[in-house]
Amino acid sequence: MTNGHVNPAKGLETQGIEGLGNVYYNLIEPALMEQAVKRGEGKIGLGGTLLADTGVHTGRSPKDKFVVRTPLVEDTIWWENNKPMTPEAFDRLQADMLAHMQGRDYFVQDLYAGADPAHRLDVRMVTELAWHALFIRHMLRRPERSELDAFEPEYTIINCPSFQADPERHGCRSGTVIALNFDKKLILIGGTEYAGENKKSVFTLLNYILPGKGVMPMHCSANHAPNDPTDAAVFFGLSGTGKTTLSADPARTLIGDDEHGWSDTGSFNFEGGCYAKTISLSPEAEPEIYATTTKFSTVIENMVTDPETLELDFEDISKTANMRCAYPLHFISNASETGLAGHPRNIIMLTCDAFGVLPPIARLTPAQAMYHFLSGFTAKVAGTEKGVTEPEPTFSTCFGAPFMPRRPEVYGKLLQEKIATHQASCWLVNTGWTGGAYGVGSRMPIRATRALLTAALDGSLNEVEFRKDPNFGFDVPVRAEGVAEVLLDPRRTWGDKEAYDRQAAKLVKMFADNFAQYVPYIDADVKAAALG
């Protein structure tokens, strides 16, 4: 049985998915909110937001993610980073999930992943929860209503949180499973209500498909100068490093906050919305993002509210530190209407250094940029993944290892080629700790970070005096307008200078030990950067 506003020419029955209850195709935001409330999935918050909880999973479950191992992908998947599943186990999983879905209502959203028509992916999301359909409708790009009549999905994602996988029968680790089958062009998600699995599954697809077309997929936010899409900047970084906050600069046009591609013709957003962390969100520091938390249809995820007034508590992390809001890109007043821009002039690599060693900004040579891109040093921020309760130092290659199906060198070489071809400037920005490690020092002042980024993007930072960092060899500005000089030299911010030296030596060794795995695959200049 079908229901909804637009039934595409090729519905679920043409994909062999039959026997369901009501199937709601391409409902728009008010209808999805009505269904979510009616079904007890959430409630209406201030301004017409939707308040939803994700249950026991308040972050991604990377250990439960699998790629089906077939001859088609055998030689191109980075198996050391991607857990394999046999085709037979996937077939059992698919059959059992479809049997579980019988008679239940489902919500279908047909969407585009990618603002560039030449490289976009047509994705069908089939969700058990109405609020998941609302979430992914925000996160991906919405076709015109007339385009839906002939929509044919290239990939289908089925998300069934009430289904529990059987590790022995389905070749997985637990009752939670995220399984990608590139042969069948199908992703199955079960046993988790965390909405972020939906968007990151699409990102993983694009990370596999686009390099084959010479397009660099990037876990980054992006913006460009006002009225000048040719002056673009991208901000690499894992969750919690400041991608969303720093790219939402009111003085620049926001292209997107998390996932982008870099093709031969320029850069483009994969998504149509933003998924912002709301912990300690304030109207002073992030006014545009803060304003979305009272806008109609914004999904508010895992936030504590006042039981009477429904006011949001941005400091209460009793549910999770990974509380978030999801909203369409047009909720940000300076967002790009097209999601398209030119070739990036500036590459920003964001790191959250829990050791308190790195300076707030450093200028990188192309070889140093490759070193830090492949290293992907940061700290896992509390709540982003299940079981992480405080920042932990980690190396996540390409600033997104959990979403990288191919080997890191594939992405590294693509980025290296594009930086060389288009002469992009590269910067490493630390949004982590200063004056000491986590627990002793303090978080880098966001005003200082913004001032340094502004100077880097407008070119004025290149005109100041630089010093050579003794630990990593990159250039660090000696002074910058609006930033205390002491902040630019992390050693000076520590009360115990010898403790800083020990911590710096420890971090340098961690970098070297981690990077040893890439040495056989990289060029001589990058090796030289690795050796200092």
Which mean pLDDT values do the consecutive 10-residue runs of the chain (532 residues) have? 60 92 97 98 98 96 97 97 98 98 98 98 98 98 93 97 98 98 98 97 98 96 96 90 86 94 98 95 92 98 97 97 96 96 97 94 95 89 56 85 94 94 97 92 94 96 96 96 96 97 94 92 82 64
Question: 351 among the known binding-site residues?
Answer: no
CA dist., res. 44 & res. 320, Å (int): 20
Question: 243 among the known binding-site residues?
Answer: yes
Residues with a catalytic annotation lie at 60, 200, 219, 239, 243-244, 258, 324
Question: 258 among the known binding-site residues?
Answer: yes
pLDDT at site 1: 44
Question: 19 among the known binding-site residues?
Answer: no
Q: Where is 51: in which H helix or E strand?
A: strand 50-52
Question: 311 among the known binding-site residues?
Answer: no
> DSSP string covering 54-102, please?
-TT--SB-GGGEEEE--TTTTTTS-TTTSEEE-HHHHHHHHHHHHHHHT
Residue 425 near residue 347 (C-beta atoms within 8 A): yes
Q: Where is 109: in which H helix or E strand?
A: strand 106-113
pLDDT at site 12: 94
Helices (H), 437-516: 446-458, 490-493, 497-515
Question: 428 among the known binding-site residues?
Answer: no
pLDDT at site 389: 56
Question: 286 among the known binding-site residues?
Answer: yes
Residues in CB range of 428: below 8 A, 6 or more apart? 349, 351, 358, 361, 362, 364, 372, 474
pLDDT at site 295: 98
pLDDT at site 245: 84
Q: Where is 349: in which H helix or E strand?
A: strand 344-351
CA dist., res. 281 & res. 283, Å (int): 7
Question: 237 among the known binding-site residues?
Answer: yes
Residue 346 near residue 424 (C-beta atoms within 8 A): yes
pLDDT at site 242: 86
Alpha-carbon 340 to chain mean position: 18
3-class secondary structure, 104: coil
Question: 104 among the known binding-site residues?
Answer: no
pLDDT at site 395: 92
* Cα-Cα-Cα-Cα dihedral sign, residues 52, 53, 58, 63: negative
Question: 240 among the known binding-site residues?
Answer: yes
